[in-house]
Amino acid sequence: MDTFVLNAITQELQQQICLAKINHISQPDEQSVILGLWQRGQELRLAISVDARYQYLFLTRQPAPNQVFNFGKFLQHHIKNAEIRAIQKPLLERIITFDLVKKDIDGQDLKFRLVLEIMGRYSNLILINQDTNKILDSLQHVTAVQSSYRRIAPGAEYVPPPLQEKEELLNIDQTRFQQILADYEQEAQTSASACLWKFLIQRIGGLSPLLAKEIEGAHLDTSAEARWQRLSELIRIVREGAYQPTLILEQGQQGKQKPLALSAIPLAEFPHGKTCDVKTPDSMNAAAEQYYTILVERQRYDTLKATLMQPLTARLAKARKKREHLLAQKQQIDQAEDYKRQGELITTNLYQLSKGMNSARVIDYYSEDQALIEIPLDPKFTPAQNAQRYFKRYSKLKQGSVMTEQRLAATEQELAYLEEVQFFVEDAQNFYDLQQLRAEMEAATPSKSKKKSVSKSEPAKPAQPFLRFVSSDGFDIYVGRSSRENDLLTQRTALPEDVWLHVHKAPGSHVLILNRERKTPVPDQTLREAASLAAYYSKLRRSGRVDVIYTSKKYVRKPKGSPPGLVIVQEFQTLRVIPQANLTAK
């Protein structure tokens, strides 16, 4: 949030929440606070964040989570039921103060000041005693070792951030601006990396990169006069407080929107060359809420996705290495009969062998041509002892064959499950889907601690499981969205005559055509549409044509003790289709 967005929001807050009462305090996470306010018979919520990735302040009507951390508990104790008496902000600084008054048990006024400092990764929310100017507590503590200028900790005197030694925006006239441009041209002659918008930020206070680029106007008129006109218009808007909420969203895949810019000043430069949706909401608070709701959701999505993918990738690598080891072991076991045969051939030829020989050249009576073969011997042992060594190798390998086969089968099952979960995590469309997958992964790992973290809210139960579509012939088609949903779809929802589909030899969703009227066969068009869905909701989505298997549910069974989503298909047919999801969702 730049200072001009904060100016516009502060203007609106002064009109809407002055004299409002703080009746609830919660924290979505350790870097954010939501103040529940009661004003003129209606409930509002003021969202505040000092997260290093995004800092914001805006009014919202979204429900607040019933969650609070230590700082939130501290605020509840001190300012719950306090009244907001004043909201102030210097025009070109990103510091907002809320003057609060609360009655003590004797009816005396307790005066507090809540200070929001938005300064990138140094942002903070600080509660101060107005009478003493002493800090009561803050979201971020700053020690004297971390900053020699000011200490932010309980009991320390509050000192505002140091002023930046830049030119005052409102004092710049055309002559002074022309001199700044001339200074830049002089620097550009000696530095190939010189950049005008960065130079403007260094020289003029209050400018954000977004507005500095707007003044530079790389894709607009770049004359000195045109640049001055853009700067003078910015100065006029700030002086008059005539802010115009502007929100720019980029249209992404599958109708998703990516937030690109939030501004209190109309932007001509930024949308150049991009597929943008420029919105002008009724208020700056509404613009900020929409912008940061999308941004925070995306950040939470990316963070959780990375958190889930990291252990998945490690487990997959470990399982693949284990499979390689077991396959090598199985290959040795497959050679067990060779050891037995070599031991028997040595025993048959004991009369012509002696201790100290490195090999035995004997006739292989087990081969059709009875050719001469050479069997390695250990010269330290007698021929009979060498034969026994081969028999022992044979016995050891045969004894381990059953266990190796079982371990290999279990490892293959684990790999299939992990690859399927990895696909669902990669394909998850939103934060809620990832929450469901996290819960599934935690449930499938019973050895891990089941302690609940206060920072992780439990995902709500879905209104209905599965993606649901209707075929051209009117058949309902269900698609699983996770391994657990695949199990639920195939084991609990499907009836024997329903048609079950899955991409061939790749991770993906179970797909079910509901054939409740027992129409035999299901129309070919419906079958192909469902197969296209099975191909689309699989790891082979971006392939040209994909093989999809289909069969009646009665031929699909789940092995006892197998991981979620794993089934065995006794008989099936195959369709080759193009992955696509063109059906109408229910």
What is the DSSP annotation of 454-487? TTSPPPPPPSS-SEEEE-TTS-EEEE-SSHHHHH
Q: Give the rounded distance of the alpha carbon of 267 from its chain centre.
A: 30
DSSP 381-437: S-HHHHHHHHHHHHHHHHHHHHHHHHHHHHHHHHHHHHHHHHHHHHH--SHHHHHHH
Q: What is the DSSP secondary structure assignment for residue 122, as one 8-state letter?
A: G
Which are the contacts of 27, defined by CB distance < 8 A and separation ≥ 6?
A: 33, 34, 65, 67, 68, 69, 71, 72
- For position 333, what pLDDT does the model report? 81
- For position 405, what pLDDT does the model report? 86
- For position 450, what pLDDT does the model report? 45
DSSP 352-369: G--TT-SEEEEE-TTSSS
CATH of 3-138, one of 2.30.310.10, 2.160.20.10, 1.10.3720.10, 3.40.50.10190: 2.30.310.10
- For position 451, what pLDDT does the model report? 44
Name the CA dihedral angle for 177, 88, 74, 459, rounded to a multiple of 10 degrees: -70
Measured between alpha carbons, how far is residue 391 from residues 65, 76, 386 in Å? 69, 78, 9
Residue 275: how many other CB atoms lie within 10 Å: 9
Side-chain half-sphere exposure of 176, counting CA atoms within 13 A: 12
Counting as low any pLDDT under 70, the low residues of the chain are 252-255, 270-274, 445-463
**Which three-class secondary structure state does DSSP give residue 249?**
strand
Identify any residues that bridge with 115 across adjacent strands, giving them in sequence order: 97, 126
Measured between alpha carbons, how far is residue 331 from residues 337, 338, 397, 452 in Å? 12, 12, 10, 45
- For position 453, what pLDDT does the model report? 41
- CATH 2.30.310.10 residue window(s) in the chain: 3-138
Are the C-beta atoms of residues 54 and 112 closer than 8 Å to each other?
Answer: no
- For position 452, what pLDDT does the model report? 42
- For position 257, what pLDDT does the model report? 78
Q: Where are the alpha helices (DSSP H) in 174-247?
A: 174-190, 196-203, 209-216, 224-240
**Which three-class secondary structure state does DSSP give residue 561?**
coil
Distance CA 314, CA 359 (A): 46
Are the C-beta atoms of residues 545 and 514 closer than 8 Å to each other?
Answer: no
